[in-house]
């Protein structure tokens, strides 16, 4: 029997970047974890004050909140590298959409999600928000692997592998919410409308209504491409953000993904309504969508998180790469090397991401009472030497493979780079079989 008050896990040594409001940095900390929560975080005294069943030595390491990937499409990992460097419409219409219509099923979604989750844990991500078809299978993969997730059922006005009758969208949405509510403390369901041009005004409105009734985030790809702006202009005589505004679907539970082609007034609308933004620079660059005006959105007070987007357009799930790119791309396009500094970018990948998902009371920083979602980064490596500034080193020099330990909800899921509760060889083999079928028909 454990003594009352004794933590389950104790992390000692190294440096804690708490990412709290005061951005407290604690050298040589002791962090206690109990029942999935952070019991205490403090500077170590001269004598050992605590014991625990599991003691993790973080000497020479950084302890920080786990990274939060606010937008991805996990099962698309099955299409990683299938079709790159192609014009957007050719990529979508000749490769991705045909592959999706033929190969997306519960098995593909579940196994692809498991591989993507493994890749995320291996690179320090502890929470993700996902949009896809058969989203309850994404949720199941999250539950089975122990990662925290905000899975969002994707809805669109075409028949999809998981819904051949688009008129049944509300039922699909409600069924999904029912299925994923209360199933695990780590799962928070959400709903997603694909885009303003692939969903009708009616769809956008009624799905927002379902989300509002259940008090859930409503996610939508928005202002991603110049073509989208053109289509919305032609169809509705206005721009994407103004159009959604006119439908009454913008509020502080709306997550707008991409937000590249915005004018000043549209940025103000997003700011005024407290709409959250997911920034996905690597996907935006690779698909040649453009560069989102993130420094301006931040100036206007918009909450912005970071996402990798799906593996078909990135092509990885590594949030460290995303941070590095997010910190650099806006410097190049604004001509100002002071925008998107390392500290701000690390906030985006942690506490700001938590705010985007409405989970800031639970995760995103190392603070007492919050859920114990933490990662330990080994800083004793050649490419992380010398070390002047933790934030710089993490954003500009570290990569996912520097994460040694991952704790989610107080459970150690990775230790010394070994995944403790996933059979990664089996998962890779399952996804290879899916890929074999896809490439056999794609060659």
Residues 147, 186 contacting (CB under 8 angstroms): yes
Give the number of residues in contact with a copy of itself, rule: CB under 8 A: 72
By beta-carbon proximity to a copy of itself, the closer residue of 372 and 434 is: 434
* List of residues 6+ apart from 66 with CB closer than 8 A: 124, 125, 126, 127, 350, 363, 373, 374, 375, 406, 407, 408
Interface map 75-114 toward a copy of itself (x if CB under 8 A): --xx-xxx-xxxxx--x-----------------------
By beta-carbon proximity to a copy of itself, the closer residue of 214 and 387 is: 387
| Residue 272 CB, nearest approach to a copy of itself (Å) | 28
By beta-carbon proximity to a copy of itself, the closer residue of 93 and 439 is: 439
Strand pairing partners for 258?
222
By beta-carbon proximity to a copy of itself, the closer residue of 117 and 372 is: 117
What is the distance of C-alpha 192 from the center of its chain? 14
| Residue 282 CB, nearest approach to a copy of itself (Å) | 6
* List of residues 6+ apart from 139 with CB closer than 8 A: 149, 151, 179, 180, 183, 187, 189
- Within positions 139 to 168, which residues make up the interface with a copy of itself, using CB under 8 A? none
Q: Which residue in this structure is represented by tokens 């990664």?
A: 424
Q: What is the per-residue burial (b if ≥16 Cβ within 10 Å, else e) of 356-378?
A: bbbbbebbbbbeeebbbbbbbbb
By beta-carbon proximity to a copy of itself, the closer residue of 251 and 423 is: 423
Among the listed residues 28, 184, 238, 392, the single contact to a copy of itself using CB under 8 A: 392
Interface map 198-237 toward a copy of itself (x if CB under 8 A): ----------------------------x-----------
- Within positions 274 to 333, which residues make up the interface with a copy of itself, using CB under 8 A? 282, 284-291, 314-318, 321, 324-325, 327-329, 331-333
Among the listed residues 202, 272, 336, 426, the single contact to a copy of itself using CB under 8 A: 336
Residues 80, 435 contacting (CB under 8 angstroms): no
Q: What angle do CA 302, 400, 416 make, to 5 degrees?
A: 130
* Binding span for a copy of itself by CB under 8 A among 61-69, 263-271, 347-355, 380-388: 380-388
């Amino acid at each position: 029997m454990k003594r009352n008050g004794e933590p389950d896990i104790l992390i000692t040594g190294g440096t804690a970047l708490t990412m709290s409001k005061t951005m407290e940095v604690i050298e040589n900390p002791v962090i206690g974890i109990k029942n999935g929560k952070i019991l205490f975080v403090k500077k170590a005294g001269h004598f050992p004050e605590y014991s625990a069943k599991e003691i993790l030595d973080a000497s020479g390491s950084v302890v920080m909140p786990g990274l939060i990937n606010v937008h991805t499409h996990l099962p698309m990992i099955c299409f990683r590298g299938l079709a790159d460097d192609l014009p957007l419409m050719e990529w979508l219409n000749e490769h991705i959409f045909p592959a999706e219509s033929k190969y997306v099923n519960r098995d593909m979604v579940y196994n692809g999600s498991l591989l993507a989750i493994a890749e995320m844990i291996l690179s320090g991500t502890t929470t993700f928000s996902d949009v896809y078809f058969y989203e309850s299978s994404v949720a199941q993969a999250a539950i089975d692997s122990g990662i925290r997730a905000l899975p969002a059922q994707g809805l669109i006005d075409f028949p999809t592998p998981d819904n051949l009758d688009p008129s049944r969208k509300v039922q699909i949405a409600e069924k999904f919410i029912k299925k994923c509510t209360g199933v695990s403390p780590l799962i928070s369901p959400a709903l997603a409308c694909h885009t303003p041009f692939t969903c009708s005004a009616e769809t956008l409105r009624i799905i927002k209504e379902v989300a509002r009734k259940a008090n859930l985030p409503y996610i939508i790809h928005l202002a991603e491409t110049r073509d989208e702006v053109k289509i919305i202009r032609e169809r509705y005589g206005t721009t994407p953000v103004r159009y959604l505004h006119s439908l009454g679907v913008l509020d502080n539970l709306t997550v707008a993904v991409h937000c590249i082609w915005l004018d000043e007034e549209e940025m103000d609308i997003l700011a005024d309504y407290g709409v959250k933004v997911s920034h996905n620079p690597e996907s935006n660059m690779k698909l040649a969508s453009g560069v989102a005006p993130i420094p301006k959105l931040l100036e206007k007070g918009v909450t912005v998180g970071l996402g990798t987007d799906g593996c078909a357009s990135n092509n990885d799930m590594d949030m460290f790469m995303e941070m590095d790119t997010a910190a650099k791309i806006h410097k190049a396009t604004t001509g100002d090397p002071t925008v998107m500094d390392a500290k701000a970018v690390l906030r985006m990948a942690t506490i700001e991401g938590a705010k985007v998902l409405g989970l800031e009371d639970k995760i995103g920083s190392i603070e007492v009472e919050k859920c114990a979602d933490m990662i330990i980064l080994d800083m004793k490596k050649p490419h992380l030497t010398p070390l002047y500034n933790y934030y710089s080193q993490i954003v500009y020099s570290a990569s996912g493979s520097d994460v040694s330990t991952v704790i989610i909800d107080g459970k150690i899921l990775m230790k010394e780079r070994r995944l403790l509760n996933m059979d990664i060889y089996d998962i890779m083999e399952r996804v290879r079989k899916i890929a074999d079928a896809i490439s056999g028909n794609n060659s």
